[in-house]
Chains A and B, each alone.
Chain A
Amino acid sequence: MSETMTGAEMVIRALQDQGVEHVFGYPGGAVLPIYDALFHQERVRHVLVRHEQGAVHAAEGYARASGKPGVVLVTSGPGATNAITGLADAMMDSIPLVCITGQVPTHLIGSDAFQECDTVGITRHCTKHNYLVKSIEDLPRILHEAFYVAQNGRPGPVVVDLPKDIQFKAGSYVRPLSNQHKTYRPTVKGDMDHIRAAVELMANAKRPVFYTGGGVINSGRQAAALLRELVQLTGFPITSTLMGLGAYPASDKQWLGMLGMHGTYEANLAMHECDVMINIGARFDDRITGRLDAFSPFSKRIHVDIDPSSINKTVKVDIPIVGDCAHVLEDMLRLWRQGAKQADKIELQKWWSKIEGWRARNCLAFKNSKETIKPQYAVQRLYELTKDRSPYITTEVGQHQMWAAQYFKFEDPNHWMTSGGHGTMGYGLPAAVGAQLAHPDALVIDIAGEASIQMMLQEMSTALQYNLPVKVFILNNEYMGMVRQWQELLHGGRYSQSYSESLPDFVKLAEAYGAVGIRCDNPDDLDAKIMEMISVNRPVIFDCIVDKTENCFPMIPSGKAHNEMLLNDYLGETGADIGSVIDEKGKMLV
């Protein structure tokens, strides 16, 4: 059964046996034997990035778009430390990754050798698990275990640190055998008594709401399908976190839009006034809950999560269900059907008419302009003109990210890639590269800001090298917009260091990379130019010059509750100083 080969060959063989098609990486001294082993085969395709952080984000984009784990290969020292931000990002957003880092030979570990760093020490806090391989006998097991740990339970990044001498050593390779880990065995099936109690609570609800998150996406396409079935069967309203967009179709009438800090009026008020909250695969993040002691004060709460440490972490729940979303949803559906359950129709009708009242407030309305392109309008048009092609959307971090989440409507899971928990500027372009590799014929768009895009801009070169026709759609307002917004709200409009000074000419920059550059500063030209962008089968940088002072609304100011949100026309209606709305304590929470 076992074959003799070198450690480097084992790495490649293990990747093949795990079904890996793409590896995102960057060579260096401590991984040369692995790159040599890569050279002798064709099954695993290596994608050369321009910076190791880009490799990890690309692997994240690939993982989220494909549902498969992303794989990264980097060298020791700076290769490993450059990857840290990406690993931390994957950790926060529960993205399954396996990152193989080279390390100096075992006899030099601890000697401050050239390009040595304590990779397992540094990555311990930003990985789900990590390994330093000290002997060739351990290598095959560790490689397969890394894939198991990355994908099972709550997914996350796993680092395998591999010293160079082990890469050269010969040993016997074993194929992945069983899926049973010695100690790590996450609970997948939910407790039936708790599920039964949850279904009972749902059936007796008067003002229920589904609050779903990235866990549904991570659980797989089946989970999203089951969620749709359950939501439609119950007739309950549904909202989702940033990470969960696409699990439920945004075009459906039961969809309330995203919730949280920049969520919709109807979603946040439904959360505030509900009597039964059904949390499926979300984690009560602080951007969702707002002020904790005023969060959803009237509700009984059901929380489905595969990670027991998410239960009761910040918000106490009444019915915790530890398990995989798809399994639990399946059980819920079965029990609901078996018991012919039905929430009180009259009460539910009353609840819906209340929600329709909030919805009529039309919180995402904005004052459009004939002279300048409003960023919301730009995203709206981008959506309308591309929706037939079921595009994959990535974002950077900031105002443009929130506008993308608000105005782009997602119908399917795995079409939305964004840095939620870690909030990493620079995520979008490499993630788009990864998503495009997973779906070569699809339309992939990075909705970006002019500040964020410059953090990982070098990955344009990667897109060109592999003929990946990613579209970078920059909402260029010449500001770090979200920073500027907060400075306006909290710091008396003193825009300290948030102006994007000395911007490059993005059109010329695109051309310098060999991509296509398009600029648009007139609302009348926008449609034609977006059509031009998507008709080009090459990478495009679209420099969309938008209103410089537009703010992102609705918004729950820090330290406030869901029913204290600010709407777009807040200033117009009351004339109040927006900064005075947020108290001193709130300023601390930003």
Chain B
Amino acid sequence: MLQMKTHYPDAHRVEPVNRHTLAVVVDNEPGVLARIAGLFSGRGYNIESLTVTETEHEAHISRITIVTTGTDSIIQQIKSQLERLVPVHRVVDLTLTGETVERELCLVKVVGKGDHRVEAMRLASAFGARTLDATLTSFVYELTGTTDEVERFIKLMTAVGLVEVSRTGVAAMSRGAEGIM
């Protein structure tokens, strides 16, 4: 066969998989989250985290922040597929638009006495976590930070009596004066 001279990708070539944070602005109507979650499951895309709340009450607009992974072409497909949903206003790939700030909040409950309890307090103060609740045998801490910070905090707390974690998933915004709305 003739030598193939084309940009056409080799089927066996492994393309790098990257992590992208998407901001999806949608009409807050019933079922909109099911549409988006269903799109991801139906087409085999990954969701690493998904955060959603109504952000403009009068206009009934919600902002959904999705952290996903995929090759560049998959990420482009995800964006196009999201944009074609009727209640979606717009989709911004924050990872491509430049620098972003990303934060998530976690609540952790640690239970213990003696050394473990003291160590938990030290770690919490080292991370700048807030104490939301305390009993003689337990604490509930709140930590806001990047996903990496939250992961490290949880890992360390596991060693000193962590019993429960609740996380919000990522909220994200681009740096600078430009807004996406």
Contact = CB atoms under 8 A, between A and B. Distances in A.
Contact of B83 (A125, A308, A315): A308
A370 B178 CA distance: 77
Contacts of A315: 8
A316 B13 CA distance: 15
B89 interface: yes
A174 interface: no
A120 interface: yes
Nearest to A315: B8
A312 B4 CA distance: 19
Q: Which residue among A124, A132, A181 has the maximum number of chain B CB atoms within 10 Å of its CB?
A: A124
Interface stretch (B31-39, B118-126, B157-165): B31-39
A316 B80 contact: no
A298 interface: yes
B77 interface: yes
Nearest to A318: B7
Contacts of B6: 297-299
A294 B81 CA distance: 26
Given A124-B35, A293-B10, A183 B27 contact: yes
A154 B87 CA distance: 16
Interface of A is mostly: loop
A161 to B, nearest CB: 11
Given A297-B4, A309-B81, A313-B77, A183 B88 contact: yes
A313 B9 CA distance: 13
B179 interface: no
Contacts of A316: 7-9, 73
Contacts of A128: 86
B5 interface: yes
A311 B86 contact: no
A295 interface: yes
Contacts of A153: 84
B177 interface: no
Contacts of B46: none
Contacts of B38: 124-125
A182 interface: yes
Interface magnitude class on chain A = 20 to 34
Interface in B41-70: 42
Contacts of A293: 8-12
A189 interface: no
B31 A120 contact: yes
Given A124-B35, A183-B27, A183-B86, A312 B8 contact: no
Contacts of A89: none
A292 B11 contact: yes
Contacts of A154: 84
Interface in A291-308: 292-295, 297-299, 307-308
Interface string A174-213: 0000000111100000000000000000000000000000
A481 to B, nearest CB: 31
A312 B86 contact: no
A250 interface: no
B87 A312 contact: no
Contacts of B83: 308-309
A308 B80 contact: yes
A129 B88 CA distance: 12
Nearest to A134: B30
Contacts of B168: none
A307 B85 CA distance: 11
B100 interface: no
B18 interface: no
Interface in A309-359: 309, 311-313, 315-316, 318
A110 interface: no
Q: Which residue among A153, A154, A184, A309 has the maximum number of chain B CB atoms within 10 Å of its CB?
A: A309
Nearest to B82: A309
Contacts of A504: none
A572 interface: no
A121 interface: yes
A357 B34 CA distance: 54
B8 A184 contact: no
Contacts of A121: 34
Interface in B1-26: 2, 4-12
A312 to B, nearest CB: 6
B86 A149 contact: yes
Interface string B113-150: 00000000000000000000000000000000000000
B8 A297 contact: yes
Nearest to B27: A183
A153 B11 CA distance: 31
B24 to A, nearest CB: 12
Given A124-B31, A293-B8, A293-B10, A183 B80 contact: no
Interface string A115-128: 00000110011001
Nearest to B39: A125
B8 A308 contact: no
A318 B98 CA distance: 26
B145 to A, nearest CB: 34
11 contacts: A125-B38, A125-B42, A128-B86, A129-B86, A134-B30, A149-B86, A183-B27, A293-B11, A308-B80, A308-B83, A312-B76
Given A183-B27, A298-B4, 18 more contacts: A121-B34, A129-B85, A129-B86, A149-B86, A293-B8, A294-B4, A297-B4, A297-B6, A298-B5, A298-B6, A309-B77, A309-B80, A311-B80, A312-B77, A315-B8, A316-B7, A316-B8, A316-B73
Interface of A: 120-121, 124-125, 128-129, 132, 134, 149, 153-154, 181-184, 292-295, 297-299, 307-309, 311-313, 315-316, 318
